[in-house]
Each structure stands twice: as C-alpha cells, then as structure tokens.
C-alpha cells in the first residue's frame, strides 16, 4: 500500500473533478497545480501549490510549457526504494508525487469539429502526454488518473483505504493510461498521414477505445469482441444483445441500402441479399422484396431507406426476423414491432461511415478503400447490335448495385427493379447462373424480359447461351476477357442486349 501525500493535478476538462479534490484535501494530500486547474481549485477554497513556485519558472509560450521541468518529472519518476534517487530529491528539494491527475487536449474532437490546421496543431498535448507516460512508467510508486472516466473508480479506492493504493490498482491505472496515450498518438499520426500532400507513411495504425464483449464469435466456441461505438451509429429500441453475426449482417445491410434513393427494402441472409425491391411506396417495396425468397427471409436482417409506417410494420410483424433497421419509425409502427422482446429494432443515425476496410490475413492486415463506385447508364457501354431499352437500363443499374454487395462468383437476375434471384459465392459463373435460375423458378418468377448482371467478365459464351434459353433480354458485365467477342457474338445471335461497364465488382 502507498499513501498519497502529494498530488499533481492539471486537467483540460474539469467535469467531475470537484468531489475528488475535496476528498484528497480531507485526506491531507498536498495538491500542486497549474493554470486553469489551479484557479478551479482556488475557487473551491482549497489550498493549492503553484507548480511555477516549485519549478521557479512561470508558464511560458502561451501555456505551451508549464510542467516540463526536472522538479516535476523528478518527483514523478523517482524510485522510492532507490537510495540515490531519494538523495537527489533531497538535494534539489523535489517533492515525491504519489498521484498524477492529467487529461489530454481534445485533439480528436478538434479535428472532427472542422477546426483550422493551426487550432488542431495547438491541441497536440506535450506536457500532459509526458506526465501520463512518466506516472504510468513509475506505477510501482505513483497512481495515474488519465481520464475523468476513472474518477469514480479512484474515489471508491481512496475512500475505502483513506488515501492509499495498492500496486495492483496502480498497475491497472497505468494500463488505462497507456491505452489513452497510445490512442492519442495514433490519432495524431493518422491525422498527419491523411493530410500529407504528396506521399503517405505506409503503416497500419488503428485505435478504438470503445469495446463490447459479444456473446460469442461466429460460432459458440469462438470468443468475440466488437471494437467500435455502436451507439454512435444506431439507436437500439428493442431486442437481445447483438451477436458477431448480427453485426456482420448489419454492416452488409447498411452498405447495400445506401445505394438506393427511392423507397427500397432489402433482406439480408449471411451477408447476401435474398430480397431487394424498389417501389413507389415502402409497403409495396416490402411486398416485392419478401416475394423474392420468402424462405430465406426467415431469420434475416431487414433494412429500408425511408421512415417505416404502421402499414408496412404490420406486414413485417408477421415474419420471424433477427434485426430490422430503418432511418426512423412512426410511433405506432415501433410499438407493433417491439411486441416480441428478442427482435432487434434499430434506427440508423445519419453518421458518415469510414471509407476504409480492414481484414486480418496471415498474421497481418490488408487494408483497402470501400468499393464506392457504381456505374450509371453513361458507363454502361452497349457492345451488341441491340441496345438496352430504358427499362432494361434501369434494371441493369439496379442489378449492378446488388452484384456489388454479393459474394463472388455471383450472378444477379432482376426484373422491374426487383431481385428475382441470385447465384452466390459459386466457384464457377455457370454454377452461379444455374443456381439463380433454379431459385427464380422455385418461387414462380417468369424470366422472360429479365436482365442479368455479373460481377466479372465471361471467359466463355456459355452463360450468355444459358441466359437466352430462359428469356433474359439484357446482360451487364465488366468486360475484359480475351474472348469478349465470343460473348458479344453469342448475345447478337440471340438478340440480347449487352453492356460493358469496365468495372469489376468482386466481393470475397
């Protein structure tokens, strides 16, 4: 146990500090402070010692230098069990600091606020980060409080022990401190790296302070943790705790629904769409999306892009589903949907999601930009004698959005802005097409007049031939095969329109 005799307190955010200072004062702790924190403590009529009286130097350079001095860092870093350290403290009249309470300038918040570059640079903390690291390094003798989030925890400790801390407690606080300091440095690095004019430093540095332990990972025998602030992105109205698989499907659902502006519903199962439709009303869109594959829709993740009304909610209420996501709900709609306690009902908040994707591979990480490209009619270059009609162009555009968010190899069949069927994650494009055709027929869809989209080129004309046999009238593909002309000739032979986009949409 170590008794706290001297404390250094210098914080940017004073929220929640009052009770802690009162308790420290009641326990006879001498408090040293600087600037605004010193004024704050004085306003409480509590004695406070000026750091500048200890160092013999005032705060200089508009507050850039206040605590960077041997009399401060010596008192923090001195080893209590080392006789030479004690002698030097006595020689230079340096007090031993047993407690340091410091937070950091709000660098991330300043960046997010859109502040000027000069303002952002001024929020790079120097003294604070140095004090945190010094106190955390010397955790065997010093307690470090590096965030207001730890005030209550620390208060409980010193109230119970009358101002003493154990080495275990100090080490735990040091762990928290190094977590904060490493996160802070990562934020600064990523700011500079993203704003470098000519080149970037290739280094993978990510830090997320918020984490949630999941019930389990992809399967019950796997552990799982979500690192991120889910509440920042969604408001949860109802339902059980989110699972690893829920989160993966929600991510896929949001990525897909963001492609659409007209009233649209999508139903996701194992990250792939089993139903998508756009209509004049949300209620009609739901009917058509569910009709795509009502069997797979069971237990799926549902997402729409308009405020959910009571009529549509009543229809959805008849289906067993895991998660429902909407940008808003009519009050009565929310009441209906929350009748079953395990359903997860979410409102998507209007927050910009990151454009970066990461994946762990081979004891490393691959990073890429999200596939944010989608080709419109201008990028769909007709390569056949027959050109797509405006209706076919519209359906091809719709189909390509779904292709982009479906596991490769994939074929997507669409008719009247409704997903008719898709072939998902197949090892050959022929298998993907055959799977899609079989599913479409299973649910009674007439493929005459439907369109087909592929995530990659056709190396052979076989898929075009199969499509012709079931009545497909227009095909979208990226092109790029050395045998492109064979597919074009096959399409001409069957009077099918074909467009090349020049953009591949693999999703592995």
Alpha carbons 272 and 403: distance in angstroms, whole number = 10
Phi first, then psi: what are they for 227, rounded to 5°? -100, 105
Alpha carbons 279 and 293: distance in angstroms, whole number = 17
Strands (E), 245-363: 264-269, 272-278, 300-304, 321-326, 344-348, 356-361
- The label of the residue with tokens 């072939």 reads 423
Give the H or E element holding residue 3.
strand 2-3
Contacts of 439 (CB under 8 A, 6+ apart): 293, 421, 422, 423
Per the document, the length of the chain is: 508
The single-letter DSSP state of residue 210 is -
Alpha carbons 83 and 359: distance in angstroms, whole number = 51
CA–centroid distance for 31 within its chain:
41
What does each C-alpha distance from 268 to 55, 321, 482 come to in angstroms? 64, 10, 35
The single-letter DSSP state of residue 242 is P
Give me 200's structure tokens: 């970037």
Closest CA relative to residue 293, chosen from 423, 388, 132:
423
Alpha carbons 427 and 40: distance in angstroms, whole number = 67
Alpha carbons 174 and 169: distance in angstroms, whole number = 9
Closest CA relative to residue 282, chosen from 303, 253, 251:
303
End-to-end CA distance of the chain: 55
Phi first, then psi: what are they for 453, rounded to 5°? -125, 140
Secondary structure (H, E, C), 163-178: CEECHHHHHHHHHHHH
Helices (H), 58-150: 70-77, 83-91, 107-112, 117-122, 127-137
Reduced to 3 states, what is the DSSP secondary structure of residue 58?
Answer: coil
Alpha carbons 109 and 131: distance in angstroms, whole number = 21
Q: Which residues are catalytic?
A: 137, 270
Task: Provide the angle, in degrees to the nearest 10, between the axes of the packed helices 151-161 and 18-26.
Answer: 20
Alpha carbons 506 and 293: distance in angstroms, whole number = 23
How many CA atoms does the CB half-sphere of 328 hold within 13 Å? 5
Closest CA relative to residue 234, chosen from 326, 303, 304:
326
């Amino acid at each position: 146990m170590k008794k706290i005799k001297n404390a250094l307190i210098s914080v940017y955010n004073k929220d929640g500090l009052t009770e802690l200072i009162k308790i420290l004062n009641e326990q006879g702790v001498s408090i040293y402070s600087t600037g605004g924190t010193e004024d704050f403590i004085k306003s409480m009529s509590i004695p406070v010692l000026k750091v500048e009286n200890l160092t013999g130097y005032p705060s200089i350079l508009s507050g850039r230098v206040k605590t960077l001095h041997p009399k401060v860092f010596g008192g923090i870093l001195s080893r209590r069990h080392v006789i030479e350290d004690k002698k030097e403290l006595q020689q230079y009249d340096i007090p031993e600091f047993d407690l340091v309470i410091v937070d950091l300038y709000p660098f991330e918040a300043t960046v997010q606020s859109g502040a000027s570059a000069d303002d952002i640079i001024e929020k790079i903390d120097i003294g604070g980060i140095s004090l945190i690291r010094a106190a955390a390094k010397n955790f065997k003798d010093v307690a470090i409080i590096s965030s207001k989030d730890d005030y209550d925890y620390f208060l409980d400790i010193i109230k119970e022990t009358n101002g003493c801390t154990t080495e275990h407690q100090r080490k735990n606080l040091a762990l928290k401190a190094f977590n904060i300091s490493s996160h802070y440095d990562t934020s600064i690095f990523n700011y500079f790296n993203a704003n470098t004019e000519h080149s970037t430093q290739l280094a993978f540095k990510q830090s997320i302070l918020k984490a949630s332990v999941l019930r389990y990972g992809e399967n019950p025998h796997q552990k799982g943790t979500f690192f991120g602030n889910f509440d920042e992105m969604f408001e949860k109205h109802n339902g059980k705790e989110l699972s690893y698989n829920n989160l993966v499907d929600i991510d896929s659902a949001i990525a897909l629904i963001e492609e659409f502006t007209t009233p649209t519903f999508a139903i996701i199962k194992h990250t792939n769409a089993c139903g998508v439709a756009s209509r004049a009303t949300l209620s009609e869109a739901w009917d058509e999306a569910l009709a795509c594959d009502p069997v797979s829709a069971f237990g799926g993740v549902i997402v729409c892009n308009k405020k959910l009304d009571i009529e549509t909610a009543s229809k959805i209420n008849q289906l067993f589903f895991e998660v429902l996501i909407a940008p808003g709900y009519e009050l009565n709609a929310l009441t209906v949907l929350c009748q079953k306690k395990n359903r997860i009902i979410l409102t998507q908040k209007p927050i910009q999601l990151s454009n970066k994707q990461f994946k762990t591979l081979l004891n490393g990480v691959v990073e890429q930009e999200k596939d944010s490209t989608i080709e419109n009619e201008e990028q769909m270059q007709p390569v056949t004698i027959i050109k797509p009609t405006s209706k076919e162009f519209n359906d091809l555009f719709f189909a390509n959005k779904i292709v982009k968010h479906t596991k490769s190899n994939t074929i997507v069949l669409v008719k009247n802005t409704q997903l008719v069927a898709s072939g998902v994650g197949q090892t050959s494009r022929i298998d993907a097409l055959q799977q899609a055709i079989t599913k479409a027929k299973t649910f009674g869809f007439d493929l005459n007049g439907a369109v087909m989209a592929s995530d990659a080129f056709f190396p052979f004309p076989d898929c075009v031939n199969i499509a012709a046999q079931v009545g497909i009238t227009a095909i979208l593909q990226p092109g790029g095969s050395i045998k492109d002309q064979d597919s074009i000739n096959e399409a001409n032979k069957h009077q099918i329109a074909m467009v090349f986009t020049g953009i591949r949409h693999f999703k592995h």
